[in-house]
Chains A and B, each alone.
Chain A
Amino acid sequence: MSGLRRWLAEGTAQRWLTAAAVLLALGMVAGLIGVVVEVAGGFFWPQRLVELQLGDGSNVLGEVWDRESDPGSPGMERVRVKVGNRDLFGADFRWIRESDVRKRDFPAGAWLIERREYGNFYGFPIRLELPSATVAVADPLFRTALAREVDGAHDLVREERGLLRRVDRLHAPVAKLMVLVAAAQRRGEDAHALEARLANAQRSEDEATRPIMERLAAARQRLNQARLVMSTADGREKQVPVSAVVRAVPVNRLGSAQKVGLYVERWWEFLADEPRESNTEGGIFPAIFGTALMVVLMTVAVVPLGVVTAVYLNEYAREGALTAAVRIALANLAGVPSIVFGAFGLAFFVYTLGGGIDRLFFSNVLPTPTFGTGGITWAALTLALLTLPVVVVATEEGLQAVPQAVRDGARALGATRWQTLRRVVLPYAMPGILTGAILAVARGAGEVAPLMLTGVVKLAPNLPFDSVPPFLHLDRKFMHLGFHIYDVGFQSPNVEAAKPMVYNAVLVLIVLVVALNLTAIMLRNRLRRKLRGSAV
Chain B
Amino acid sequence: MSPLAASRLRRSRAVDRLVAALITVGGSSVLLAVAFLMVFLVAQCLPMLGTGSLKRTPPASDGPKPVAALEDEYRSAVTLLGEDGAMHVVPRSSTPRVTHLDGVQPPVRQGRTDAAGTLLALEDASGAIGVWAFAAEVKWHGNTRVIEPSLRKIATKPGHAGAPILAVAGDLDIPAVLVASSKGAMLLTGTDDAPASVELMLPSPPRVGALAADASQAWLASGRELAWYSLAGGQEALLASQATEPLASPPTAAAMVVGDFTLLLGDESGSVNAWQVVTGAVAGSKVINLAGTFAGNGAVRALAASQRDKAFLVERTRGTSIAYLTSRRTLLSVPEFPSDSTVAGISPRRDGLFAVTRAGVVHRWGLDLAYPEATASTLFLPTRYEGFTSPELAWQSTGGSESFEPKLSLIPLLVGTLKGALYALLFSAPCALAAALFISQFAPAALRQVAKPVVEMMAAVPSVVVGFLGALFLAPLLQRHIVGTLALLVFLPVVVVAAAAVWQGAPVMWRRRMTPTRELVLVSALLASVSVGVFAVEKGIERVLFAGDLKGWLLSAAGITYDQRNAVVVGFALGFAVIPIIFTLAEDAFSNVPPSLISASLALGASRWQAARTVAIPAASPGLFAAVMTGLGRAVGETMIVLMATGNTPILSFSPFNGMRTMSACIAVELPEAPYGGTLYRVLILTALLLFAMTFVINTAAVMISNRLRRRFGRLAA
Contact = CB atoms under 8 A, between A and B. Distances in A.
A312 B34 contact: no
B467 interface: yes
B28 A12 contact: no
Given A18-B442, A329-B34, A418 B456 contact: no
Contact of B27 (A3, A326, A419, A518): A326
B8 to A, nearest CB: 11
A337 interface: yes
A65 interface: no
The secondary-structure label for the interface of chain A is helix
A412 to B, nearest CB: 16
Given A322-B28, A449-B664, A482 B462 contact: yes
A315 B462 CA distance: 34
B432 A340 contact: no
Given A18-B435, A486-B468, A339 B637 contact: yes
B464 A486 contact: yes
Interface string B592-609: 000000000000000111
Contact of A343 (B143, B430, B685): B685
B484 to A, nearest CB: 15
Interface stretch (B293-301, B328-336, B692-700): B692-700
B523 A28 contact: no
Interface in A296-324: 305, 308-309, 311-313, 315-317, 322
Contact of B493 (A17, A317, A336): A17
Contact of B438 (A18, A36, A517): A18
Interface in B626-643: 630, 633, 636-640, 643
Nearest to A374: B672
Contacts of B583: 25
Interface string A363-403: 00000000000100000000001001000100000000000
A513 interface: yes
Interface in A490-536: 490, 495, 499, 502, 506, 509-510, 513-514, 517-518, 521
B13 A416 contact: yes
Contacts of A335: 630, 633, 695-696, 699
A317 B27 contact: yes
Interface stretch (B16-24, B55-63, B337-345, B346-354): B16-24
B472 interface: yes
Given A335-B630, A448-B463, A23 B524 contact: yes
A20 B496 contact: yes
A22 interface: yes
A25 B579 contact: yes
B51 interface: no
Interface size class of A (residues with CB under 8 A): 35 or more
Contact of A22 (B35, B145, B451): B451
B468 A502 contact: yes
B187 interface: no
Contact of A416 (B16, B29, B34, B610): B16
A508 to B, nearest CB: 11
B473 interface: yes
A404 interface: no
A11 B613 contact: yes
A417 B12 CA distance: 10
A309 B27 contact: yes
Interface in A447-501: 447-449, 452-453, 482-483, 485-486, 489-490, 495, 499
Contact of A188 (B13, B144, B469): B144
B478 interface: no
B534 to A, nearest CB: 14
B215 interface: no
A305 B640 contact: no
A190 B41 contact: no
A141 interface: no
Interface in A163-180: none
B435 A22 contact: yes
Given A18-B438, A24-B431, A446-B463, A347 B26 contact: no
Contacts, number: 304
Contacts of A514: 457, 460-461
Nearest to B439: A22
Contacts of B437: 18
A14 B695 CA distance: 33
A342 interface: yes
Interface residues of B, number: 105
Given A9-B610, A10-B609, A330-B30, A21 B431 contact: yes
B634 to A, nearest CB: 8
A29 interface: yes
Interface string A17-50: 1111111111111001001100000000000000
Contacts of A445: 462
B637 to A, nearest CB: 2
Contacts of B579: 25, 28
A405 interface: no
A225 interface: no
A498 to B, nearest CB: 10
B457 A340 contact: no
Contacts of B466: 32
Contact of A340 (B26, B431, B462, B637): B637
Interface stretch (B120-128, B281-289, B499-507): B499-507
Interface in B603-659: 607-610, 612-613, 630, 633, 636-640, 643-644
Contact of A13 (B144, B468, B497): B497
Contacts of A10: 504, 607, 609
A490 B648 CA distance: 12
Given A312-B23, A335-B695, A419-B16, A11 B30 contact: no
Interface in B684-718: 684-685, 688-689, 691-692, 695-696, 699, 703
Given A316-B23, A344-B37, A490-B644, A339 B668 contact: yes
B228 interface: no
B461 A32 contact: yes
A450 B466 CA distance: 17
A201 interface: no
Contacts of B468: 485-486, 489, 502, 506
Contacts of A483: 464
A20 B498 CA distance: 14
Given A15-B438, A305-B26, A336 B41 contact: no
A346 B462 contact: no
A490 B471 contact: yes
B464, B492, B664 interface centre (most CB from chain A within 10 Å): B464
A419 B610 CA distance: 55
A317 B24 contact: yes
A19 B20 contact: no
Contacts of A188: 143-145
Q: Which 4 A-B pairs give the minimum distances between C-beta atoms?
A: A11-B609, A337-B637, A312-B27, A446-B462
26 contacts: A11-B609, A11-B613, A17-B496, A18-B437, A18-B442, A20-B523, A22-B438, A188-B143, A308-B22, A308-B23, A309-B26, A309-B30, A312-B27, A325-B31, A329-B31, A333-B30, A335-B699, A339-B691, A340-B689, A344-B37, A417-B20, A419-B12, A499-B472, A506-B468, A510-B465, A521-B453
Interface of A: 3, 7, 9-29, 32, 35-36, 188-190, 305, 308-309, 311-313, 315-317, 322, 325-326, 329-333, 335-340, 342-344, 346-348, 351-352, 374, 385, 388, 392, 416-419, 421, 442, 445-449, 452-453, 482-483, 485-486, 489-490, 495, 499, 502, 506, 509-510, 513-514, 517-518, 521
Interface of B: 12-13, 15-16, 19-20, 22-24, 26-31, 33-35, 37, 40-41, 44, 143-145, 430-432, 434-435, 437-439, 442-443, 447, 451, 453-458, 460-469, 471-473, 492-493, 496-497, 499-501, 503-504, 519-520, 523-524, 526-527, 576, 579, 583, 607-610, 612-613, 630, 633, 636-640, 643-644, 664, 667-668, 671-672, 676, 684-685, 688-689, 691-692, 695-696, 699, 703
